Structure 1
Amino acid sequence: MRKEASSKNRVGPHVSSRALPLIALTTLAALGLAALAIFWAVRQSDSAAIERQLQMTERSIRGIVRELSLQQEVVAVWDDPVLQLNKTPLDTQWIDENLGSWLTRTYGHDQVYILNAQDEPVFAAVDGAPVEPQAFGQIQRDLESHLSEVRAAPRPPARTSPEPAADGKHLTSGRAVYDAHLLKLIGRPAAVSAMRIVPHSDAVTQEPGSEFVLVSVRFLDGAFLRQLSEKNLIEGLRFSSTGDKAGDEVSVPLTSDTGSRIGYFVWKPETPGTKILGIIGPAGALLGVLILVLMGLLLGWLARAMSALQSMVVELRASEAQAQHLAFHDVLTSLPNRALFDDRLDQALARTQRGEKVSVLMLDLDRFKHVNDTLGHHAGDGLIRELAGRLSKLLRSSDTLARLGGDEFAIVQTGIAGEGDIEALCTRILAAVREPFDVLGHQAFVGVSIGIALAPEAGTDRVEVMRKADIALYRAKAEGRGCYRIFTAAMDETVKVRGAIEEELREALATGVGLEVAYQPQVAGAGKPIVGLEALVRWRHPGRGMILPDQFIPVAEQTGLIAQIGELVMRDACSTSRQWPNLFISVNLSPVQFRGEGFAERMIQIARENGTDPRKIELEITEGVLLDDEGQTAQTLKALREAGFRIALDDFGTGYSSLGYLHRYEVDKIKIDRSFVNSLGKEDSATAIVSAIIALGQAMKLTVTAEGVETQEQERFLRSAGCDELQGYRYSKALDREQVARLLDPTPRLEQRSALTIAPSTI
Structure 2
Amino acid sequence: MAAVAMVAGWWAVQSIDGRWLNEERTAIETGIFQIRTQLATDQNTAIIVDGDIGFDGNGYIDRRLTTVAGHNRAYIIGPRGRILRASVDGHFAGRTLLMSDAFVLKPIIDELRLKLARMQFDDPSLMRGNATGLTALETVGFSNGDQGFISIRPIDRPSSEPGSSLLLVSIKLIDQAVIKKLGTDLKVANLHRTTDPTSSPLIVLRDSSGKTVANLTWTPSRPAQALLRETAPALITLAAFCAGMFIAILLWLYKTTLVLEASRAQATYLSLHDTLTGTANRALFERRLREAKEYQFLAETKVLLISVDVDHFKSINDTLGHAAGDIILKEVSRRLTLEMPEDATVARLGGDEFAVIHPGIISEGQARWICQRLVQCTKSPIVLGNERITITLSIGAALEKAEEMSGEEMLRRADVALYVTKQDGRDGFSLYNEEMDRTRRERRALEVELRNALITNEGLHLAYQPVYDAKSKTIAGAEALVRWDNPRHGRLTPDAFIALAEETGIIDQLGEWVLRHACRFALEAGLPQVAVNFSPIQFRNPKLPATILAVLAEEGLPPERLEVEITEGTLLQNSEEVQAALGELRSAGISVALDDFGTGYASISYLRSYAVDKLKIDKSYVQRIDAEPAIGHIVRLIVGTASALGMKVTAEGVEDTLQSDAMTEMGCTYLQGYLYSRPLTPEAMTDLLTTEGGKSQRPTHLIA
Q: Name the TM-score, length of structure 1 as normaliser.
A: 0.53
Match of 2:596 in 1: 651
Q: Report the CA distance between 1:720 and its aligned residue.
A: 4.6
Partners of 2:399 and 2:301 in 1: how far apart? 11
Indicate which of 326, 334, 351 corresponds to 1:406. Answer: 351
Match of 2:384 in 1: 438
Match of 2:265 in 1: 321
- SS of the aligned residue for 2:537 comes to helix
Distance of aligned partners of 1:559 and 1:305 in 2 relative to their CA distance in 1, 3 Å threshold: same
Distance of aligned partners of 1:663 and 1:747 in 2 relative to their CA distance in 1, 3 Å threshold: closer
Supply the AA of the counterpart residue of 1:328.
L
Q: Report the CA distance between 1:619 and its aligned residue.
A: 1.0
Aligned pair 1:493/2:432, yes or no?
no
Aligned pair 1:428/2:372, yes or no?
no
Indicate which of 542, 558, 564 corresponds to 2:487. Answer: 542
Match of 1:621 in 2: 566
Output one character per residue of 1:134-165: Cα deviation in whole Å (capped at 9) or x when no partner.
xxxxxxxxxxxxxxxxxxxxxxxxxxxxxxxx
Distance of aligned partners of 1:418 and 1:632 in 2 relative to their CA distance in 1, 3 Å threshold: same
Match of 1:99 in 2: none
Distance of aligned partners of 1:364 and 1:2 in 2 relative to their CA distance in 1, 3 Å threshold: same
Partners of 1:457 and 1:705 in 2: how far apart? 60
Indicate which of 264, 269, 277 corresponds to 1:333. Answer: 277
Match of 2:546 in 1: 601
Indicate the RMSD between aligned Cα atoms, in angstroms: 4.0
Supply the AA of the counterpart residue of 1:490.
E
Q: Report the CA distance between 1:580 and its aligned residue.
A: 4.9
> In 1, are the aligned partners of 2:480 and 2:530 still within 8 Å (CA)?
yes
Output one character per residue of 1:660-713: Cα deviation in whole Å (capped at 9) or x when no partner.
211211112233334455566677876665555444334433233343344556
Supply the AA of the counterpart residue of 2:539.
F
Distance of aligned partners of 1:686 and 1:409 in 2 relative to their CA distance in 1, 3 Å threshold: farther
Higher mean displacement: 588-597 or 699-708: 699-708
Question: Gaps (5+ residues) in structure 1?
Answer: 13-302, 759-763
Distance of aligned partners of 1:687 and 1:597 in 2 relative to their CA distance in 1, 3 Å threshold: same
Partners of 2:302 and 2:442 in 1: how far apart? 30
Match of 1:756 in 2: 701
> In 1, are the aligned partners of 2:303 and 2:402 still within 8 Å (CA)?
no
Partners of 2:423 and 2:655 in 1: how far apart? 30
Supply the AA of the counterpart residue of 2:449.
E
Instruction: Give runs of aligned pairs for residues 262-277 of structure 1, distance below 5 A.
Output: none
Indicate which of 511, 516, 522 corresponds to 2:467. Answer: 522
Partners of 1:395 and 1:688 in 2: how far apart? 52
> In 1, are the aligned partners of 2:654 and 2:672 still within 8 Å (CA)?
yes
Q: Quick check: which has more Rg, 1 or 2?
A: 1
Supply the AA of the counterpart residue of 1:344.
R
> In 2, are the aligned partners of 1:352 and 1:460 still within 8 Å (CA)?
no
Q: Report the CA distance between 1:405 and its aligned residue.
A: 0.7
Partners of 1:381 and 1:692 in 2: how far apart? 45
Aligned pair 1:344/2:288, yes or no?
yes
Supply the AA of the counterpart residue of 1:574.
C
Q: Report the CA distance between 1:589 and its aligned residue.
A: 0.8
Q: Report the CA distance between 1:437 and its aligned residue.
A: 6.2
Match of 1:552 in 2: 497
> In 1, are the aligned partners of 2:566 and 2:595 still within 8 Å (CA)?
yes
Partners of 2:642 and 2:693 in 1: how far apart? 35
Instruction: Report percent identity of matched pairs.
Output: 40
Q: Report the CA distance between 1:500 and its aligned residue.
A: 1.4
- SS of the aligned residue for 1:536 comes to strand
Partners of 1:688 and 1:317 in 2: how far apart? 77
Q: Report the CA distance between 1:643 and its aligned residue.
A: 1.1
Question: Gaps (5+ residues) in structure 2?
Answer: 13-246
- SS of the aligned residue for 2:354 comes to strand
- SS of the aligned residue for 2:265 comes to helix
Partners of 1:489 and 1:680 in 2: how far apart? 46
- SS of the aligned residue for 2:673 comes to coil
Output one character per residue of 1:77-99: Cα deviation in whole Å (capped at 9) or x when no partner.
xxxxxxxxxxxxxxxxxxxxxxx
Match of 2:514 in 1: 569
Partners of 2:676 and 2:339 in 1: how far apart? 53
Higher mean displacement: 666-675 or 329-338: 666-675
Q: Report the CA distance between 1:481 and its aligned residue.
A: 4.2
Partners of 1:721 and 1:419 in 2: how far apart? 55
Supply the AA of the counterpart residue of 1:472.
A
Higher mean displacement: 678-687 or 372-381: 678-687
Output one character per residue of 1:25-46: Cα deviation in whole Å (capped at 9) or x when no partner.
xxxxxxxxxxxxxxxxxxxxxx
Partners of 1:556 and 1:395 in 2: how far apart? 39
Distance of aligned partners of 1:331 and 1:578 in 2 relative to their CA distance in 1, 3 Å threshold: same
Work out the number of aligned pairs and report it: 463
- SS of the aligned residue for 1:656 comes to coil
Partners of 1:748 and 1:352 in 2: how far apart? 81
Supply the AA of the counterpart residue of 1:338.
R
- SS of the aligned residue for 1:411 comes to strand
- SS of the aligned residue for 1:516 comes to strand
Aligned pair 1:589/2:534, yes or no?
yes
- SS of the aligned residue for 2:355 comes to strand
Q: Name the TM-score, length of structure 2 as normaliser.
A: 0.57
Aligned pair 1:532/2:474, yes or no?
no
Distance of aligned partners of 1:366 and 1:620 in 2 relative to their CA distance in 1, 3 Å threshold: farther
Aligned pair 1:669/2:635, yes or no?
no
Distance of aligned partners of 1:551 and 1:647 in 2 relative to their CA distance in 1, 3 Å threshold: same
Partners of 2:367 and 2:466 in 1: how far apart? 46
Partners of 2:377 and 2:651 in 1: how far apart? 37
Partners of 2:639 and 2:358 in 1: how far apart? 49
Aligned pair 1:508/2:453, yes or no?
yes
